[in-house]
Amino acid sequence: MEDVRAAGGEEEEEERVLVFDQAVEYSNLAVSPIPADVGSLGSSQGRRFITAMLANAGITVGKVSGQIDEDDHDIEFVQIVTADQLSAALEEEEIEGVHLVPQNYMLGFQAKFSGQVGWKVKVAGERKPHHSPGHGRAARTTANDTYHEFCNHEVHEIFVPHGGAMRSTVAVSNAVVVTVLFELNEDGTSKWKCQEGQIPVPAVYQRCIDIVYQNKYTARMSVRSIVP
């Protein structure tokens, strides 16, 4: 975020406002209880909502070491919506009116995990009903389950095009970006399922994990995508 230059040539830092927890609270999106075996990104309503959305897609993210500190603001979460829904949201001028779009108009989401933190990501090889948070013991893994597991802050040898040839270089995995798309009905709204006694969860259509690499020459040299 760039500083705002005030009259007289003095620079005045623009005020930052965090509204995600409030936006979740003011929305019609219920927050599922999080079983211990699903993991946790924090106890606030917003963090629990992110954890639930990831768990429903068969994805668990946690710190490699240490405890989650919600004051670090190391996670960004955005809904994927239509252009009309986005335009309507941008017209809101009062902070008290900021909220997430209704669940049927939420086409997916993207969660960005800061490269300043060491993250461990676990992705189920196949999205199954037991990934829905709130299913208790059924959420535990079995011998037949397959998972992709990786961490950032690891050194990799990657190949990049250079002068018509491929050159190898060493880079460190940094930020992690998780993108999940939901299944849609014929009218363009998303499908949300609700089993008896459970909170509605979206039907997942596609999942994509992107990893940003960097080295001493460039901050964003290559992105590796995993689409399980």
Q: How far apart are CA 5 and CA 18, in angstroms?
A: 22
**15/139: higher pLDDT:** 15
* pLDDT over 50 at 19, yes or no: yes
Does residue 19 sit within a domain? yes
CB 104 within 8 A of CB 190: yes
Which pLDDT value is given to residue 1?
A: 40
Does residue 195 sit within a domain? yes
CB 77 within 8 A of CB 109: yes
Across the chain, mean pLDDT equals: 80
Does residue 67 sit within a domain? yes
Q: How far apart are CA 55 and CA 139, in angstroms?
A: 9
Which residue from 146, 172, 138, 178 is spatially nearest to 158, judged by alpha carbons? 172
Which pLDDT value is given to residue 112?
A: 95
SS3 133: coil
* pLDDT over 80 at 13, yes or no: no
Which pLDDT value is given to residue 105?
A: 92
Alpha-carbon distance values, 152 to 63, 170, 216, 225 (Å): 10, 14, 17, 13
Does residue 121 sit within a domain? yes
Tens digit of each residue's pLDDT (9 = 90 or more) over 194-222: 766 678 889 899 999 988 888 876 655 55
- Among all chains, which residue has been given the structure tokens 């211990």? 36
Which residue from 226, 30, 225, 227 is spatially nearest to 132, judged by alpha carbons? 30
Which pLDDT value is given to residue 198?
A: 76
Q: Which of 22-36, 142-156, 179-193 has the highest mean pLDDT?
A: 179-193
Residue 112: HSE in the Cβ half-sphere, 13 Å Cα cutoff? 11
List the domain range (segments joined by +) for residue 148: 15-226
Q: Locate the DSSP E strands across the chain.
A: 4-5, 11-12, 59-63, 75-80, 108-113, 119-124, 147-151, 155-162, 165-182, 192-193, 201-202, 204-214, 222-226
Q: How far apart are CA 67 and CA 191, in angstroms?
A: 34
DSSP 163: T
* pLDDT over 60 at 7, yes or no: no
SS3 161: strand
* pLDDT over 90 at 28, yes or no: no
Which pLDDT value is given to residue 77?
A: 94
SS3 190: strand
Does residue 7 sit within a domain? no
Prediction pTM value? 0.80
Which pLDDT value is given to residue 73?
A: 87
Cross-strand partners of 177: 112, 210
Q: How far apart are CA 212 and CA 219, in angstroms?
A: 9
Tens digit of each residue's pLDDT (9 = 90 or more) over 45-59: 899 999 999 988 989
Tens digit of each residue's pLDDT (9 = 90 or more) over 81-135: 999 888 888 888 888 888 899 999 999 999 999 999 999 999 988 766 545 544 4
Instruction: Count how many domains the chain has.
Output: 1
Q: How far apart are CA 56 and CA 50, in angstroms?
A: 10
SS3 of 18-40: CCHHHHHHCCCCCCCCCCHHHCC
Average pLDDT over residues 35-40: 66
Which pLDDT value is given to residue 135?
A: 45
* pLDDT over 50 at 139, yes or no: no
